Amino acid sequence: MATRHLLADLIAAASFAGLGDVDLESVGGADAEQRVAAGEKFDLVFLSDGALRRLADLGHVDAASVTPLVLSQTAMAVPSDSLLPAPRPEKPAFPDANGVRAALRAARSIGYSTGPSGTALVRLIEEWGLTQAVGDRLVQARPGIPVASSLAARDVDIGFQQLSELVGQPGVGILGVLPDDCAIETVFGGAVASACDSRDRAAAILEFLASRETAAKRDRYGFRSR
């Protein structure tokens, strides 16, 4: 879901470039991985690098075709009374991890996702020895539901999610990405599915999506190019 808006724009650009049309379906990462692993037929698969590698090991995507597209940073956000789209922050949320730990301890409820950023956040909390202190305040969003929705509804008072899923959302105030000493970064990429009947065409589209020609679009959606 973190890449859904970007992918829609990139695929439209691929179509305009004469590479053909693609029907895009965006769902939660865990759901997408399960569907591909269950044998559902797709031509291209876009997921985190870890999920693509797992699918490649199982033979569901062509390992040689796995292509990094973007580096996604995890950001912190709070509810906001503003109805304007949340702008992209210019600085990290805090100078270092001490600020993040203090925010976690002070929060009454903490929203996080089912995706790789959520898994990494829980691991970070464990490494900091804060599981007992804040564990009962963690609120995991349902698959496919962005943490931004929970923030806007004030179901949580602080949230962690991929920056791309927070930028542009009303009712959300983005504090910034996590500082360098506790940064959570996820590489998202694409791969040609083993069930694809037109592998050359699919590979050409994937190559275009990762090209310099589309770098400006990736940056516009809050990602770093890979």
Q: Report the distance separating Cα 36 and Cα 1, nearest Å.
A: 16
Question: How confident is the model over 69-115, as pLDDT tens digits?
Answer: 999 999 999 999 887 878 888 899 999 999 999 999 999 999 999 88
**Structure tokens, 23:** 């029907």
Name the band, by pLDDT with cuts 50, 70 and 90, for residue 210: very high
**Structure tokens, 18:** 């004469």
| Overall size of the chain counted in residues | 226
Read off the DSSP letter of residue 212. Answer: G
pLDDT score recorded for residue 175: 96
Question: How confident is the model over 118-133, as pLDDT tens digits?
Answer: 999 999 999 999 999 9
Kindly tell me the burial class for residue 202, based on how many C-beta atoms sit within 10 Å of its own C-beta (0-12, 13-18, 19 or more).
buried
Mean pLDDT for 155-163 is 95
Does domain 4-70+186-225 match CATH 3.40.190.10?
yes
Does domain 72-182 match CATH 3.40.190.10?
yes
Low-confidence winner among 63-72, 97-106, 142-151, 207-216 (lowest mean pLDDT):
142-151
Quick check: do 4-70+186-225 and 72-182 share a fold?
yes
Neighbours of 127 (CB within 10 A): 10
Q: Is residue 225's pLDDT more than 80?
A: no
Name the band, by pLDDT with cuts 50, 70 and 90, for residue 143: confident
Read off the DSSP letter of residue 96. Answer: S
Kindly tell me the burial class for residue 26, based on how many C-beta atoms sit within 10 Å of its own C-beta (0-12, 13-18, 19 or more).
middle
Nearest partner of 77 among 64, 92, 63, judged by Cα: 92
pLDDT score recorded for residue 59: 97
pLDDT score recorded for residue 200: 96
- pLDDT > 70 fraction of the chain, expressed in percent and rounded: 100
Domain ranges within the chain, ordered by starting residue: 4-70+186-225, 72-182
- pLDDT > 90 fraction of the chain, expressed in percent and rounded: 80
pLDDT score recorded for residue 48: 93
Q: Is residue 144's pLDDT more than 80?
A: no
Q: Is residue 166's pLDDT more than 80?
A: yes
Q: Is residue 226's pLDDT more than 80?
A: no
Is the Cβ–Cβ distance between 124 and 152 less than 8 Å?
A: no
